[in-house]
Chains A and B, each alone.
Chain A
């Protein structure tokens, strides 16, 4: 196992490369998922504000109508 990790003395170069590969792609994977959720949240907030402007006094949540 330690022989495998040593990579014939080039372990630091090989494993740093693979770490860079995975870290960059992990960020690239997570960023758009978070962006989509944020965009949806902002859109919901905007729609709630519009609803509030149209009918003043109505709290932004839907539960008050019940």
Chain B
């Protein structure tokens, strides 16, 4: 009996010939990640572990200041400083301060810190993003991260895998985000709990690396432990451009056992929107636009959709136009490198000229931290990944999740809008 892609990686990292769902293993981590919030608690826990003076390997730890940066207040500055001092004390070179990094999940792949077949744990639930590269990656809390800092290993329960097989070519203005929203809608927000999601099919073979990132990123929105793609030539080219580190591309066995296989046909699918207040409350855009839904804020960014490809889509729709007068648009390029690329391509100027506020990279607006918090009775449409009550600020605000194209179209009209309408109108 064969193994799934997740099982293959877990077996190799735990020194076992094979593993089975439900089995508890000790697995070696290739990389342990934390941001200033999860690191602050993890460092505190680590200080309390007897015999734990040093991290297991300073080269295998990445620390990224991204949640409350630039520091929103003295308390947040204190957390970032705690992490910075820890990096210096432990000789951790992969420390990314404001201006040199950005959102952790955008930064790590860019910096060549993620490669196929690797095992990555992070003190952030969207660590599952790295499954886009054929790595096993999962989010954990700070105490688990403290243990991983010290031991370089984590205990894991091997998850059963769900195989998702996508077919069909996305229609106009339909993107990876729409495909993943539909997937979360089908699975439900606990449909993947304690499970691995393995993405297959011609549709995802054709997707860009960014598209796969968007999809792997939201595996957690179905409750999954990880979401994983098979690495292909695109993946290998991306990674080899960024690191000389050797890596091993794993493949699921032909006779791997999946708990469930779900076929998802994308042909003819409309752009999708997750309506308030859960990411699985997903509807085709034509159902959502039956009502006129004026918007107060459009947010473009995050570890889901803060990439250069995303900004290009938005810039193309907004170029030479003005956003509607009833709303504000906040754009956060995902990383310093994305920001610079967008500047080089004239995208930042295009967006600013259209009336968008372009921020520095960071997580703030997405999780209601700062730099774009929603007020009472406000409605937002956002390229982010969660729309729980209060996620972006006031518990009385409404959040709709959609693709960069749908968000940009809504920015122009001032209400939630089908981007295909704009295309037909020759925008």
Q: A and B from one assembly? A: no
Q: Which residues of A contact B (CB under 8 A)?
A: none
